[in-house]
Copies of this chain bind each other. A is one copy, B any other.
Amino acid sequence: MPVGTQGSVKAIEQRELDEIGAQIILGNTYHLYLRPGTELVKSAGGLHKFIGWRKPILTDSGGYQVFSLNDLREIEEEGVTFKSHLDGSSHVFTPESVVRIQRELGSDIMMVLDECAPFPSDLEYTRRSNALTIRWAERCKQAFVTGSGLYGHSQALFGIVQGSVYPEIRRESARALVDIGFDGYAVGGLAVGEPAEVMYSMIEVCEPLLPGSQPRYLMGVGTPINLIEAVARGIDMFDCVLPTRNGRNANLFTRNGSINIRNAKYKTDFDAPDDECRCYTCSNFSRAYLRHLFQVKEILGLQLATIHNLAFYLWLMSCMREAIKEHRFDAWSKSMITRLRQEETPLPE
């Protein structure tokens, strides 16, 4: 899912998201709640109408952003009190209020309020934190089933498995959420600083406990290789700012590893950024032109890099769907990972 934090996937138009095959985008409840505000989105007829996007939208619960505020927030049983990063004004998110806000946004997939424990967290903190997350998940489910959508379309609610890097707490969390019952299950609290291998093993811990007939969503991940490794372990959905953020930073993902297009060696390289890619950028422009655009700080550079990177990520996911259907995922992933490892600019894994 391309990330459209504030009601726009950065530097790309909605019709271009359509063109490259995006099936769903993500919006951030925390940001949208503050600006433009839930009331405004409601008066526009919901987020889809407000931003002109007809396909599905997933909204997070706002929890992750709030917990990133550190000094500006306080967690209690009832919910979390936080100060806006914009003007310092005080707000409260409760399980009930984030469901209500997401009802008003009208996202197709809503997320429960959870506490994303920082990394590292000790066992005791993680246990207490996860117990709270489960109690909040119950309250979210309750608020969800007693309410209904405002715009005539159905909405799903996903639970979020927490438990930091502790297998036993991850299992407890997954079991408790499945007992409550959600439309899909996210694995949260990963890609927050732990080694990739630990992340993979946490997915392995959760996977057998999460119903195979429902989507599994790994939040905030990741590099192309992360995606392949996670799909290999049973994950279906991802969101990540890497393709968009790195694109705006001149970092292009290609089938042969990522490249920094600002590098002097691309000055007279008139090949496409990725010669196997069929996106608008790769079909029409050269590495030399993209390098020039970044050198002279033209906005078009951000646009073209964003189109390509998102097209690349969506292509990668479509390859995986295809390979799974055709029972050749293992072979495909091995050879793809080898190609992707030819990275000029190593990315955090």
Contact = CB atoms under 8 A, between A and B. Distances in A.
Interface of A: 6-15, 31, 35-36, 40, 43-44, 50-52, 267-268, 270, 280, 284-286, 288-289, 292-293, 295-296, 298-304
A34 B9 CA distance: 33
A10 B9 CA distance: 19
A10 B300 contact: yes
B44 A13 contact: no
A18 to B, nearest CB: 11
B52 A300 contact: no
Nearest to A270: B44
A50 B12 contact: no
A268 B298 contact: no
A294 to B, nearest CB: 11
B12 A292 contact: no
A267 B40 contact: yes
B40 A284 contact: no
Given A267-B40, A303-B303, A52 B298 contact: no
The oligomer's copy count stands at: 2
Contacts of A15: 280, 284
B289 A52 contact: yes
Contact of A50 (B11, B288, B295): B288
Given A50-B289, A52-B289, A289-B51, A268 B43 contact: yes
Nearest to A31: B296
A293 B8 contact: yes
Contact of A7 (B35, B280, B292): B292
A205 B154 CA distance: 68
28 contacts: A7-B289, A7-B296, A8-B293, A8-B298, A8-B301, A9-B300, A10-B298, A10-B300, A11-B300, A11-B303, A13-B304, A14-B284, A31-B296, A35-B295, A36-B267, A36-B288, A36-B292, A36-B295, A36-B296, A40-B267, A40-B292, A50-B286, A50-B288, A50-B289, A52-B284, A299-B302, A299-B303, A303-B303
A52 B292 CA distance: 13
Nearest to A303: B13
Contacts of A267: 36, 40
Contact of A40 (B9, B268, B299, B301): B268
A9 B15 CA distance: 20
The 10 A-B pairs at the shortest CB distance, nearest first, are namely A8-B300, A11-B299, A8-B298, A36-B292, A52-B284, A6-B296, A52-B285, A35-B296, A10-B299, A43-B268
A292 B10 contact: no
A43 B267 CA distance: 11
Contacts of A303: 11, 13, 299, 303
